[in-house]
Every structure is written in C-alpha cells, then in structure tokens.
Amino acid sequence: MKVNHVISYALLAAFCLTSCKNEPQVKNVIYLIGDGMGFGAVTSLLLTEDEPTGFEQAPVIGLHETCSADNYVTDSAAGGTALATGTRTNNGYVGADPEGNQLTSVLRKAQTYGMKTGIVVNTTLTEATPASFYAGVTSRKMVYDIAKQFTESEVDVAIGGGLGHFFGRPDSLDLTATLIEKGYEVYLNWESVLNTESDKFVGILPLYDLHRREKNHGRASAAEGQEVCLAAQMAAINEDVDATHLSEPTVYLEKATAKALEVLSRDNKEGFFLMIESAIIDGYGHNNDGEGMVIEMKEFNCTLRKMIEYVDTHPETLLVVTADHETGGTGVYYNGHKPANEGPLRLKFSTSGHTGTVVPVFAYGAGAENFAGVMKNTDIPKKIDALICR
C-alpha cells in the first residue's frame, strides 16, 4: 500500500514536469467562443461568403462533446464552465461544481502566471459564458452577485454590457464606484473605450450598441432601452460620463476586441489571456432566424479574421475558436433544383433550444496542433493551461 503511494507520487511528479515546463510554450491566448455556434451556423457563413472565411484558414480542426454534468444538452452556464474551468457542472451553474464549490478558471490560472487578462463580449459582462471565467455561483440568474464577483476578478480589460447589474441595483450599491476605487477607469460609451490609453479599464456599454441591427430599424428592445436610460441617468449626475452611442452598427465585437488586444499587448513580457464571446448567434438559433444567423456569422467572421491577422504578426499567440453548444438544430434545407449559387440559402431548425451535437474547434498559431481530434469540452481549458503554465 505504502509502495503504491510512493509510485503514484512519483508518477504525479513526472506528469507535472512533462505537462508544465518552466518556459511556457505559448505567450498569449485568444479564446473566441461563439455561443450556440454549431455546424449549421458555420456552414451558413461558408455558403454565403465569397471571400475565404477565417474558418477556412484554420490549420487545425477538432470536435468537442458539449455535455454538462447532468444532461446531454448543456446550457450556456454549464457549457461556459466546462470551457473555462475544465469541469462539467449542472445546467444553470456558473463557475461552480455540482456541489457548489467555486472552480478555478484558466483565466484565473493565467493571472497566477503573471499574464494580463481581458474579457470582451457582445452581451452583459455578467452573462453565463464570461461569468464562468471569473465567478462561482449555483445559478446564472444571480447576476447581482456575479457583478460583485466581477469587481474582485482583477481582469485588466473588460468590454461588454450590463450596466444595470453594476448601477441602479436593488441593493443600491454602485459597483462602478467600487471598480474606480480598485484602480479601473470605467467608461459607459464607445468614444471613451476607443480613445483610452488606460491599461486597466471596464467599458460597460449599452446593449443597444452591442446588438443593434439594421433590420431592427435602430429600435432598442425594452431591456436595451432601460440601459440607455441608465447611462443617460449617470451622465446627468456625472459630467465625465457621456451617453453617446456607437455610430456604426455591426462593428462592435471586432473593434472592441482590437482595442483589448492593443491594450493587453502593450509593454507585456508575460503575455495575456483574452476571452471573447459572440453571444448573439445563440439568440438567432433560439428564434429560428436563419437570416439573422447569417448576419451574425458574418460579424463573427470579421472578428475572427482580425484575430488571425494578430496571430500571424504575433506568432507566440494561440487562437482557439469554438462554441459552448449548438443552438437550433440548424441545417441547410433543400432548396429546389437550383444550382448551388442561385437563390437564397434556407436554414431549417429542428428545435428552439440547444442540442447536444458536437461542435467544431478551430486552432491557429502557437500550440494549435494540440487541438486536433475529438475531445470533451473540458479538455480545451486543460490543453490551454498546459501550454501557458510556468
């Protein structure tokens, strides 16, 4: 028995030595997650884009099984937790295991290695996917607790929405003030985010700017409208705050990501870990809106191509692109007898929910070869950690 213990410790030591060298193999990590971006979504882009897409430039492609701990079909909370922490949990749980214990994400690990960290999303900063990287709660609905945990996350750069979770809260706490006390610049409009020279800032932009689509005729939803009002309310009491909006629709994610990369790359010997979520693909899947899904995938592709340009000029960078799950059971529908290039693409959906179908993984740059083949969702953060640990 005693001998067995000695052997297992020796094996453990050998594992640590081989999996974590003193010199990390990868300096920077960009982890791009398309929420609900299954094969149907990717295909809808490939068939409607004349230019080669960013997906076609991937030298390495894999597949991952998206299951949660309690279901074949994951939600974005358990899916995000698996992709962030390497542990499967119950649907609805964010950054916590099925017993409710907080897990350590690969973003947190990157911080312990001295890397800078960033989060860019086109949804609220407190939404399940980004929250899986810094929070630990047993329900994705605990957005006010998640926002508090965000203020303790020590993430260097964050850009997203969700002002109502930071200001005008039911408990009256002003977490924008908490962030400022902790040394952050806090910006509520695009111009400030795009023009900042700060190395540590949080951009909490109205969702209206993040989601706006021409097909909505520029109208905001009720929740988006409420955020615009909150920003205006803050502007009224603080002359440094202005409530101007993004002038050009459908450029948000690409520009916000480029800004985060610029800031995280600045004077940075230890490298960075940047997670980006394109959240709205999931919404179009839920709504069975094929036209919207194609528009969203085109925006995703613009962001992806910018990321690939970055990796090409910074070869010590790893870019991993994947989804937390598939949404909509999306397929390309039989479109009569027309040749492939005639007539609009028709997508057919089999559900308004998520499916448990495997999703693709695309990898570029340093260490990309590790992401080939069939894996579990939980393998991805473990592989990333093995490449950056020191």
Residue ranges in contact with Zn ion by CB under 5 A = 282
Sign, CA dihedral 352-353-356-360, equals positive
Q: Which residue, 53 or 377, has its beta carbon nearer to Zn ion? A: 377
Least Å distance, CB 286 to Zn ion, is: 6
Q: Which residue, 26 or 37, has its beta carbon nearer to Zn ion? A: 37
Least Å distance, CB 76 to Zn ion, is: 5
Host H or E run for residue 360: strand 359-365
Nearest residue to Zn ion on Cβ basis: 282
CA-based nearest residue to 181, from 173, 190, 189: 173
Sign, CA dihedral 49-293-324-157, equals positive
Least Å distance, CB 256 to Zn ion, is: 21
Distance separating alpha carbons of residues 348 and 333, to the nearest angstrom: 5
Q: Which residue, 121 or 307, has its beta carbon nearer to Zn ion? A: 121
Least Å distance, CB 285 to Zn ion, is: 7
**Dihedral (Cα; 333, 336, 339, 342), 10-degree rounding:** -80
Tell me, letter by letter, the H, E, C secondary structure of 37-78.
CCHHHHHHHHCCCCCCCCHHHCCEEEEEECCCCCCCCCCHHH
Q: Which residue, 209 or 282, has its beta carbon nearer to Zn ion? A: 282
Least Å distance, CB 325 to Zn ion, is: 7
Question: For the chain, where are the alpha helices, taking DSSP H only?
Answer: 2-19, 39-46, 76-85, 106-112, 128-131, 143-151, 175-181, 190-195, 207-211, 222-237, 252-265, 280-286, 290-313, 379-388
Q: Which residue, 277 or 282, has its beta carbon nearer to Zn ion? A: 282
In contact, 323 and 28? CB cutoff 8 Å: no
Least Å distance, CB 323 to Zn ion, is: 11
Q: Which residue, 168 or 283, has its beta carbon nearer to Zn ion? A: 283
Host H or E run for residue 351: none
Q: Which residue, 282 or 385, has its beta carbon nearer to Zn ion? A: 282
Least Å distance, CB 329 to Zn ion, is: 12
Host H or E run for residue 166: none
